[in-house]
Structure 1
């Protein structure tokens, strides 16, 4: 909430207080208290103006009333110390704002002595533990905000005993217990924010319907179950109604919208600073969000009577039936989002006539009929998303004149007619997605300056690609498959420097491909298959640096395959059904491309592994010979051949059954290599037996297989079983192949190849002799041999640096950053020299270019390593890996497992933080198996870095490059004493005496390059 809101609330409170004469400055006692307070808070530079020579009433952080200090505004002052008891020596203190600092410890019960405190804001700090059961001793509070901390446990029933409390915010914490129905006893409560807490599954107490003064209710993401209570029809003051992202079921109560003058307001998440003061109720702002639940039944007709309804979010439920006709006539409607339901019927024609629509999102339903013609009548429509329905007819011409459009999606419907010419040139339009309809017409020469995505596949569009396509300069994705396009592909299309995906397959293009590819440096997918293209394959295709998918099949290409194509790191290649000739590039003679050259009778290979003839076969009948000599040679050859055949038959019959079985099905397996291999798929398939099994994980089994007589081994992860792969495992397999197949680093496990069939996927890696880090740290808890070797500290530090190098490379030096999303000790593998390598990329995500974060549809990762922001946002960035790596550092120095600290309901991170905040010696918690005086300083340093990496707020965590810089500064060299790479580096100031709020700017001096070893 903004400072304005706080001021208005305090002003309202102050009106009721008798006005007293205002003196120029507070008493000397209060000046002394404030100067002592400054010292106890660690003398933060942000309050350097506090001094004995000026009046506190002139300090910007102080407000005085009647000659006494009544307000302390210490928001965002970089305070890292605990709240000192002396703060309550300010006897008239009514207002205390400590938000957006780094204050550690438990809830400050010392504030109980502030007998006049009315406004308390502790949000966005590092508080932990449970809310005290006697919190109601702060009996004078009118406003309490403890949001954005790490509080956990239950909300005590005493929270319902505040006699005058009007505002309660507890959202964005780690409360994992229950919340009490006694909250309903807060008869003066007007605002209640409980969102994004992992409470145990609970129904909404019916008693909440008694909060008749409540105008703001925010319970998104609180694990709610059951139905929406019918008692909510008593909430006659309700303005903000948000129960989204829960597991609510049943129908939407029609009575909920039956009371008179109802105004439901939904203020967008994470924008509490813009909360609407009570004073502007007259504006009747009306917004509602009950999306992302399991609600069923129809949408109540009552929604159509809410004349001030503005935001309407019912998406991602199981709602059925037709839309209430009255909704389209609401005069204030701005955003209408009902996608991902089972809604039917036609759209009321009044949509957009009476209100200025900004978003109309109705996709993935069963709507029929035509689009309303006035959706952009107000001139502010930004998003029209109506894909995957049964809509038909033409696109209204009025939408072609809508200059405000940014996103236009009508794919997977039954639309026909021509695409309005104005739509192509709509000033701000960036995405035009119309695939799988029946549109006709031709492509324009010019499009919107902002157009980055055009998807028009599976329509009836015709004509050629205009030479003016060179002006489509922002185009990134162009999908035009399966239309009636014809003519030559113009060279101007190669001028598009941002193009990543180009699909022109299934058309009637003819002529040659452009021979000079000028600007396709970002192109990774090119498909022009099933056309009438001819001539040679342009050699320039082999110089495209990012190309990984190439399909030129079913055309009339002739000549040889350019050698440069063999140099590409192609994931898929199809040159089948052409008129190609000559020898294929050596690199393409690989089982990964077994079916890439079919129906090219003049192609050959020297020692073909793919389905081609041997290039030497043409010369075997070059010269006639005498009949007698021929018979002699034939008899001799036949004798030798029979002997060899008999020997081979005996040999193969003696082989074990499983190897024969694997060879029988070799036709069904596809091998894709990413390195030069000295083995084939037969070596792998025949040895997937229990004797070689070394591990079992959530996605499959892991085998160790020897590939030659020297004892060289590989690790094989088998994903799937006798049944078909589910969608999740398919996604994990694809992510692993996509990422590990395209990156190389000495601290990232090497993916040699993948072998796939319809029901199973095999990933073949280099074998890591010393398995995973967690076995060495926690092996005695997991049936590891009791005589295991304990990793000494220098080996642990070496492992930490190696893993940091791998993550640093992923985050900072890959062409597009990669988030691992499942960093943990079991995914850090160790070779025979204990070099660490990051493994298991099944949950990893490649960030979009130029993006700082990525939207996740589901939470990924492992319990104990998950960053707290996963609980309240779907947008994450590389800082989630930093958090998980911080947990690994704490494991290395304490020897403890992330979810087992011998405490009840507390993880390693919380346990370590509590220890630090209680001013205990860090040495007490270090692993006694390796702790000794010579390495104590280094272990304490790594412990502190682990604390910093696991900060609750992502923005206050360092980057992996900065973490690596600090760790490398302590590396030992050849067994010598630890030497500091940068003499200016000191980890001690990070946490201060309390071990909490580190100075985030400390890491900013890091310039370490992530790749400190040779890539491979």
Structure 2
């Protein structure tokens, strides 16, 4: 009996052996396949955990999920920086059901070999660089797919009709590609579809298919910028499960179907920029849109009145109807909505009064009704619930006073009520609101006095043409713009003003009753670009210190009682506008400004003379000195020259001694330490000995930059940035060096400058980069208009629009990687055209990370130790907070977009200060965008795209960080207009790639610039 049992047990064991062997074979096969995939992709660092170690369980490797038997079922490799084509070895994973390759740099065509993965249900290839057409038999390639994401690639051709057979699909994302042909009607066969995106493609003009009304399970429909025209079909009212509907940026017209408002779950409705026309009509019955949270019909041609029915949407939080032709009154019922937080009705033809209950029954935080014909008063209860933050009501016919409630509004940040008929004193409490950032009240009849110390956060104060009186404030720590002309201010300009408003860029106190002398300390306002003190009673001399205000471009001191000579130091400044007329100035006009360019600048100064013929100014007579005077003057001159010569000799000896010691240290290999980040074909000696004076190509950031040839071939070149150590005094530069090394040594991206190595010595530190043959974008855009310093001359040709757009896209990709794809997001903090470098093919790369900071948590701001950045590029919040996030880079990049479209420099805003302010006011005044565009690209076939990029620049430079888009959204819009990759002939694509910029270093006075 026991023997029989033993035999049975032994046979049972034998029966298990094949199963165990089969399972081991399966495990070995899956593991080898994964290792093959890694090898096919070139062993990316993100897959370092994929190792052949026997102790390594491949089911625990990065991105791998297995079933119980060890079969790989999920491969999730999003945001890994993977390059190259999708390897066919993936198709050996027969149990694969989920493949996610989102947001890499994968190229090639659609991987048809995935047909060998019969269980594949989820495929995400979005945000890569795939090209070509989709397979015509895609329904057979992916027979069981339920979720297909192909957004933000470069797929072309028509969407294959076979997609209409994939009835199991629940999500189909095809937006942001280059699909053409007509809007695909056959998608209406996908009755299980819940999400559909077709936005930002190149479809032929066409209608929204009526058949889409059959997609009754849709919750998400995204069809922005899809070349839609005609009317919104009534059949869309059948989509009762919709939560988001976006039909923006199209050419739709006609009326909005009445039933569009009865979607039971609709949370967002975007129809802005659709050129809709006609009135909004509604059925006269109780609405069921209880979940409707946001309505956006802005940027259309809608007419008629705002429907009363909007006042019944009890969950409505945001209502956007701006930029239309709406007329009539704002329904009073809107003021009763209990959840309304944001109401934007600007740029319409609305009349009547603002709903008096606005803000009383809801947590309203934003009201924008600018550019209408509204009358009456600002509602008293606008800040009743304490949440109110921003009021925009300029360019209306409003009367009455500023509500006292605004003086008790703790979150108030922005108030713009210019160009109305408001009167009375501004509530004193308003000037105590510590969050207050922007106040624009120009052209009213407002009165009152300003406190000596303005709110800490205030960055813009414009109260021109009112009835304010009293003394000028002495302190506003973060004030950038102070315009208070045409009021009744009196007293002196207090010296404390200079200390208390050190960040001022624009100061206008003209047409007041200010007296006294200009304080000599006014020269410490180093950021001031516009100073207007005309039509006052200011006396004394013009301070010499004004000549040290190097960014000052507008100076108006006319119609005062100034006397004495004009300081010669004013000749150091580059004025766009200078007016010293109607004073008591005397003596000779300094030679640097004694020019016909300032022909009207000195009128009404009877004792002033010029060496040239100038309007209203007498000619200077030659002055003779006595021989004794000449002799005494020469003696003093010789003594001064002797002292100067002695000082120079001593300094030269000291410098020679220092340089000798440096060269001695530099020649000693033991003094240098090299840390490499790439495989190098040079030594530290070849770099050190290549840093000669003839190889110096510029200065920037905290050091000098050299062009050093390495190896045996003249074409092998690197750029070397040298930073001197100056004992303990330059701790800041030391930190910049460490920051740049830390960041650039750890990231890899084709649009970020590649750091090859760093070399350190006791005396200096070197950063060795790849060499960018075409220099900086700043040189190509602006140096043709400047007096150049150094060996680099202006480019001999200007950039056409396709090349400019490629540069913008490349820079945006680099910033997008930093903000959204790095494990620890990076904020650059000094994005500007001079930090966007161009290689020989004009490919853009972000450089100079000396100010960059790692953010500890995505989306969370980081505290920085000091205000940093460049004038004209700094976001407003840099002035009043040290809690900064990636939106400061978005602002700076927006300025770069404005540079690319207008040709202006970042600080070139004329009376408005910066370029961003100039562009903002240009749009605000309703002027044509066409006149803003640089002449050399204005009359091209790309003018529509250029205007879009100009508008995008304005959006990116919004005052509030929350209103600026994320870099990934900016990149998405730019790629839509990627003209080089869409339709430009190949020969045109190579026009700049074949251009050799090296002769620019030898060419002088080239004059092929485009006039703005």
Q: TM-score, normalised by structure 2?
A: 0.62
> Per the alignment, do residues 600 and 492 of structure 1 end up closer, same or farther by CA in structure 2, a change over 3 Å counting?
same
Counterpart check, 1:255 vs 2:259: yes
User: What residue number does 1:306 align with?
Assistant: 313
Partner residue of 2:613? 608
Shift of 1:737: 12
Matched with 2:165 is 161
**1:341 and 2:348 correspond:** yes
* 1:541 counterpart residue number: 546
User: Could you tell me how far 1:155 is from its partner in structure 2?
Assistant: 3.0
Matches within 5 A, 1:815-834: none
Distance in 1 of aligned mates of 2:988 and 2:44: 26
Whether 1:39 aligns to 2:39 is yes
- Answer yes or no: is the 8 Å Cα contact 1:853–1:876 preserved in 2: no
Q: How big is the shift at 1:329? A: 2.3
Q: CA deviation at 1:331?
A: 2.4
1:315 is aligned to 2:322: yes
User: How many Å separate the matches in 2 of 1:854 and 1:145?
Assistant: 41
CA RMSD of aligned residues (A): 4.8
SS at match of 1:304: helix
Paired residues of 2:783 and 2:793 also in contact (CA < 8 A): no
Q: Equivalent residue for 1:120?
A: 123
Query: 1:868 Cα deviation (Å)?
Result: 14
Change (3 A) 1:253 1:41: same
Please name the residue that 1:276 is paired with.
none
SS at match of 2:436: coil
User: Retained in 2: the 8 A contact 1:172–1:872?
Assistant: no
| Other-structure match for 1:744 | 788
Q: 1:491 is matched with which residue?
A: 495
Q: 1:221 aligns with which of 210, 219, 225?
A: 225
Alignment correspondent of 2:182: 178
Does the aligned pair in 1 maintain the 2:906–2:915 contact within 8 Å?
A: no
Q: 2:566 aligns with which of 539, 561, 569?
A: 561
**1:961-980 matched pairs, under 5 angstroms:** none
CA contact (8 A) 2:248 2:271 kept: no
Structure 1 distance, partners of 2:110, 2:434, is 53
2:164·2:186 contact (CA, 8 Å) conserved in 1? yes
Contact 1:249–1:296 under 8 Å retained in 2: no
1: CA distance, partners of 2:25 / 2:315: 49
Residue deviations 1:488-525, cap 9 Å, x none? 22122222210000001111112222233253011110
Unaligned runs of 5+ in 2: 1-22, 273-287, 625-778, 804-837, 852-868, 874-891, 924-928, 958-966, 1007-1012
Instruction: Compute the displacement of 1:162 (Å).
Output: 2.0
Q: Tell me, yes or no, if the aligned pair for 1:57 and 1:64 is still in contact at 8 Å.
A: yes
Match of 2:79 in 1: 76
Over residues 362-406 of structure 1, what are the superposed CA-to-partner deviations in whole Å (9 max), with x where a residue is unaligned? 212222222223333333323222212222211211122212122
Do the aligned residues in 1 keep the contact of 2:907 with 2:915 (CA within 8 Å)? no
SS in 1 for 2:162: helix
Q: 1:121 to 1:51 in 2, by over 3 A?
A: same
Residue 309 of structure 1: SS of its match in structure 2?
A: coil
Task: Give the Å deviation of 1:552.
Answer: 0.8
**Structure 1 residue 806: deviation in Å?**
15
Mapped contact 1:438–1:460 kept (Cα < 8 A): yes
Q: Distance in 2 between matches of 1:282 and 1:55?
A: 53
Give the distance between the partners of 2:156 and 2:1002, measured in 1 at CA.
Answer: 41
In the TM superposition, what is the alpha-carbon distance from 1:128 to its structure 2 partner? Answer: 1.9
Gaps of 5+ in 1: 1-22, 270-280, 620-734, 751-767, 778-798, 824-837, 888-897, 913-926, 928-938, 947-966, 973-1009
Deviation at 1:840, TM superposition (A): 10
For 1:933, the equivalent position in structure 2 comes to none
Name the CA shift for 1:899/1:387 in 2 (closer, same or farther; >3 Å): closer
CA 819–55 in structure 1, closer or farther in 2 if over 3 Å, else same: closer
Would the aligned equivalents of 2:980 and 2:989 in 1 still touch at CA under 8 Å?
no
Match of 1:433 in 2: 440
Q: Which residue of 2 aligns with 1:414?
A: 421
CA distance in 2, matches of 1:807, 1:79: 20
| Structure-2 change in CA distance of 1:366 and 1:189 (3 Å) | farther
For residue 740 of structure 1, report the CA deviation from its aligned partner: 6.1
Q: CA deviation at 1:601?
A: 1.8
In structure 2, do the counterparts of structure 1 residues 492 and 413 end up closer, same or farther at CA, with 3 Å as the change threshold? same
How big is the shift at 1:749? 7.2
Residue 530 (structure 1) shift: 1.2
Corresponding position of 1:628: none
Return closer, same or farther for 1:114/1:338 CA change in 2, 3 Å cut-off: farther
Of the structure 1 ranges 811-820 and 337-346, higher mean CA displacement relative to structure 2 is found in 811-820
Cα drift, residue 539 of structure 1: 2.0
**1:475 Cα offset (Å):** 0.6
The structure-2 alpha-carbon separation of the partners of 1:843 and 1:252, relative to structure 1 and needing over 3 Å to count, comes to farther
Per-residue deviation, residues 746-783 of structure 1 (Å, max 9, x unmatched): 78877xxxxxxxxxxxxxxxxx9x87799xx9xxxxxx
Deviates further, 40-49 or 498-507 = 40-49
Aligned with 1:390: secondary structure? coil
Alignment CA distance shift 1:545-1:855 (3 Å): closer
Structure 2 contact 295–318 (Cα < 8 Å) conserved: yes
Alignment of 1:424-573 (within 5 A): 424-466=431-473, 469-470=474-475, 472-495=476-499, 496-517=501-522, 519-573=524-578
Asked if residue 360 in structure 1 is aligned to residue 367 in structure 2, the reply is: yes
Deviation at 1:745, TM superposition (A): 5.2
Determine the C-alpha separation between the residues in 2 that align with 1:459 and 1:72.
67
Q: Distance in 2 between matches of 1:871 and 1:161?
A: 42
CA spacing shift, 1:443–1:187, aligned 2, 3 Å: same
Within the candidate set 92, 103, 108, 1:105 is matched to: 108
Kept in 2: contact 1:99–1:121 (CA 8 A): yes
**Normalising to structure 1: TM-score of the pair?**
0.61
Give 1:86 shift. 2.6
Aligned pair in 2 of structure 1 residues 344, 850: CA closer, same or farther (>3 Å)?
Answer: closer
Mark the CA change 1:135 to 1:226 in structure 2 (over 3 Å): closer, same or farther.
same
Q: Is the 8 A contact 2:180 2:203 kept in 1?
A: yes
Deviations, residues 675-719 of structure 1 (Å, cap 9, x unaligned): xxxxxxxxxxxxxxxxxxxxxxxxxxxxxxxxxxxxxxxxxxxxx
Q: Which residue of 2 aligns with 1:719?
A: none
- 2:657 corresponds to which residue? none
For 2:592 and 2:238, the matched residues in 1 are separated by 74
Supply the distance in 2 between the matched residues of 1:173 and 1:910 (Cα, whole angstroms). Answer: 22
Deviations 1:163-209 (A, max 9, x none): 02122222233345433222233212222223333444333333333
1:843, CA displacement in angstroms?
6.1
Contact kept, 8 Å, 1:820 with 1:843, in 2: the verdict is no
Contact 1:296 1:319 in 2 (8 A): yes
Matched, 1:595 2:600: yes
- 8 Å Cα contact 2:348-2:371 kept in structure 1: yes
- What secondary structure sits across from 2:295 in the alignment? strand
Identify if the C-alpha distance between structure 1 residues 293 and 522 changes in structure 2 by more than 3 Å, giving closer, same or farther.
same
Q: CA–CA distance in 1 between the matches of 2:373 and 2:304?
A: 15
Contact 1:746–1:1015 (Cα < 8 Å) also in 2: no
Q: Residue 331 of structure 2 corresponds to which residue in structure 1?
A: 324
- Which of 61, 64, 75 in structure 1 is aligned with 2:63? 61
CA contact (8 A) 1:241 1:289 kept: no
Q: Distance in 1 between matches of 2:237 and 2:417?
A: 38
Secondary structure of the 2:35 match is helix
In structure 2, C-alpha distance between the alignment counterparts of 1:215 and 1:603, rounded to whole Å: 77
Q: State whether residues 181 and 203 of structure 2, in contact with CA within 8 Å, keep that contact through their aligned partners in structure 1.
A: yes
Q: Deviations over 1:869-903 (max 9, x none)?
A: 959954679x99xx9xxx9xxxxxxxxxx9899xx
Instruction: Describe the SS at the equivalent of 1:517.
Output: helix
- Which residue number corresponds to residue 756 of structure 2? none
Q: 1:184 to 1:909 in 2, by over 3 A?
A: farther
